[in-house]
Structure 1
Amino acid sequence: MPMKRLVLSLILALLTWVSATTRAEALSCTASMVSPVVFSGLDILTGGSVDASSTLSVTCTVNSLDGLVGSLLTITICPNIGQGSGGSSSGVRRLASGGNLLNYNIFQDSNRTVPWGHASFPALGTVPAMTLQVTVPPLLQTNQASVSRDVYFRLAGSQQTAPPGTYQSNFTGSPDTTISIGLGLLGCAGLLSQSTTADFIVRAVIDKNCTVTTQSVNFGSVGFLSSNIDQSGQVRVTCTLSTGYSVGLGVGAFTPTTRRMTRSSSFIVYGLYRDNGRSQGWGDTAGTMPTGTGTGLTQNYTVYGRVPPQATPPAGTYNDTVAVTVTY
């Protein structure tokens, strides 16, 4: 009798294993990121963060399972997203352009507060679970069901010194996108688990760019124009790293040192200069403009103004508007 019980136990174990194998083979799933992940409208000089999003879609197909036709099958999906080809550091993912890097991350929520991680890279964050249910079809038939979840991306701010270029991270196969799939209560960790992948690319393009702000040159209130009146202002230029540029001050119909402030038909002659000694006029042609190379940070240029001695026109407020042009 003891020997018969042993043989029976072996037969039951074998039948259970065959049933598990049949269920695993009857389930197949595919996954994809339904839209490209591109940080569009990126102006790195503003220093602000930039957001993007996509949707992860998973579709599962179920064939007929012996003895389970018509039953509702629960499928658990655990989408692991790794660090990508750009790598990561201290839980922050990177986009790469040659040896240059940009920081970004992937999140589970629209507020970008809960990082989306990978079981093999716990520093990146946790792995959310997705579930779907599908009815087991009759023999020789299939049923299909899909589930999707939004995926949120954020390019970190305060990266103004990153040089222009195309930055990218590729998520290709395992372990970058390991979409674990399982049946029933055991979920992704169960005996019937399998996996698929969802390849995608994250990209950001930094174009050459410059911005400019100014501080006016105010000569103040004066009486007779019998001697030099000197004042200064500023031009503040911010250009992307390694971007060469020049800064021109428009002269209109005049020269850099014979500009005119006007009031009705009266005028006052003045000049704008690149140097404190007021010997190098500042205009908008080659040889009269300062040049520089961007650092990603603001670079200041002092505008030296002078009203030379001249006949004093009628009293009043005289002004001129000068166009500042940054060419890069």
Structure 2
Amino acid sequence: MNRTVLIAMLLLAGLWHGSASAQSCTLSATMNFGTINPLSSVPAQAQSTVTFNCTGFATPYVRACANLGDDTTTLREMVGPSGARLRYELYQDATRTTIWGSAWHGNPPLYVDIALSGGAGTAQKSFYGTVLTGQTNGPAGGYTTTITSAVLLGFGYTTTPPVCTTSGYTSWQDFRVTSTATVASDCTISGTNIDFGQQGFLQGAVTSTGVVTATCTKGSAYTLALSAGSGAGATMASRLMTRSDGSDTLAYGLYLDSGRTQVWGDGTGGSGTVSSTGTGTPQTATVYATLPVQPPPRPGNYIDTITVTVTF
């Protein structure tokens, strides 16, 4: 007797599944963040559209509930070169306060109510994405991921739409959401001033230093070059500071090494440059400066402006 009952239950379950399969909802969704700058303090954001399609329903309406993965225990990440990770999030609203989640976890699913005609209907709904800032350790290149732990439930109804957490769904389909981004090579640079202090007669060479700081995308090769300066007639080998409100000049030099033997310039006229590979974190290069012995200048403030160029 028990065996007969078990067989009957299996037959009923099979009949129910076959009936429900005629009612189905599908969706398509992708999020493309485009090219992003990992060094920016402003998060990269994008917007996309979910397209829902439902067929086979006997009701005038269907609520389609898109449950997207476990959104509470792990950060969503895209995978890039050499397995590098890029954290991102998907949201239901333009203010990016409601994460696109699922009925079984802490954040709600994305849903839409569709009016049906002949048992079928379609609808679209926007969703939003953000790539988190402060992710400078990833190399340039393409990043992508596809969320596969996603279920689309369809609830056919006549008057009052059911909530997505109820168990009365009439269709169940898996779906996927793919997100992509391209991390661009980029560099930011800054520099400190070089101050030779207050000097009288230059009976001996005066030295000083400055610092150029470069922050470049991890793995990106870059080169730092210095201009000859703004002094009239200045060269890489003999830069000139000019007296404020005058035309008097003081010669000085900028070098790559502490021995002050290799002129730091742009690679022309025998000068050299600094080359390195970005780490995603600030990297510093010391500028070694010398004010050599020269005829006493007219008193005043002497200034020059050097342009630092980063090539990557």
State the TM-score, normalizing by the size of structure 1. Answer: 0.75
* 8 A Cα contact 2:262 2:271, kept in partner: no
Give the CA deviation at 1:213: 0.7
Q: Structure 1's 60 and 265: CA in aligned 2 closer, same or farther, altered over 3 A?
A: same
* 8 A Cα contact 1:31 1:197, kept in partner: no
- The counterpart of 1:258, out of the listed 220, 223, 238, is 238
Give the CA deviation at 1:196: 4.0
> Greater Rg, structure 1 or structure 2?
1
**Does residue 1:93 correspond to 2:76, yes or no?**
yes
State the distance in 1 between where 2:169 and 2:260 align: 83
Q: Structure 1's 155 and 177: CA in aligned 2 closer, same or farther, altered over 3 A?
A: same
* 8 A Cα contact 2:35 2:184, kept in partner: no
**Does residue 1:76 correspond to 2:70, yes or no?**
no
Q: Secondary structure at the match of 2:39?
A: helix
State the distance in 1 between where 2:145 and 2:99 align: 17
- The counterpart of 1:104, out of the listed 88, 91, 102, is 88
Farther off after superposition, 95-104 or 194-203: 194-203
Deviation string, structure 1 residues 43-80 (Cα, Å, up to 9, x no partner): 101244222221222233467x5xxxxxx723121102
Q: Give the equivalent residue in structure 2 for 1:168.
A: 144
Aligned residues: CA RMSD: 3.3
* 8 A Cα contact 2:60 2:119, kept in partner: no
Question: Sequence identity of aligned pairs in percent?
Answer: 30
State the distance in 1 between where 2:169 and 2:68 align: 21
Give the CA deviation at 1:96: 0.5
State the distance in 1 between where 2:238 and 2:255 align: 11
Farther off after superposition, 230-239 or 261-270: 261-270
Q: Structure 1's 178 and 192: CA in aligned 2 closer, same or farther, altered over 3 A?
A: closer
Q: Give the equivalent residue in structure 1 for 2:209.
A: 232
Residue type of the alignment partner of 2:126? D
State the distance in 1 between where 2:174 and 2:112 align: 15
Give the CA deviation at 1:254: 4.8
Q: Give the equivalent residue in structure 2 for 1:280.
A: 262
State the distance in 2 between where 1:21 and 1:242 align: 53
State the distance in 1 between where 2:208 and 2:168 align: 81
Q: Give the equivalent residue in structure 1 for 2:7.
A: none
Farther off after superposition, 232-241 or 142-151: 142-151
State the distance in 2 between where 1:129 and 1:167 align: 27
Residue type of the alignment partner of 1:39? F
Q: Give the equivalent residue in structure 1 for 2:3.
A: none
Q: Would you say how many aligned residue pairs link Structure 1 and Structure 2?
A: 288
Give runs of aligned pairs for residues 1-328 of structure 1, distance below 5 A: 27-33=23-29, 36-61=30-55, 73-82=60-69, 90-97=73-80, 98-118=82-102, 122=105, 125-134=107-116, 142=118, 144-171=120-147, 175-184=148-157, 193-196=170-173, 199-251=176-228, 254-263=234-243, 264-285=246-267, 288-328=272-312
Q: Secondary structure at the match of 1:45?
A: coil
Q: Give the equivalent residue in structure 2 for 1:68.
A: none
State the distance in 1 between where 2:17 and 2:195 align: 85
Give the CA deviation at 1:160: 0.7
* 8 A Cα contact 2:21 2:171, kept in partner: no
Unaligned runs of 5+ in 1: 1-13, 66-71
Unaligned runs of 5+ in 2: 1-11
* 8 A Cα contact 1:238 1:298, kept in partner: yes
Q: Secondary structure at the match of 2:53?
A: strand
Give the CA deviation at 1:169: 0.9
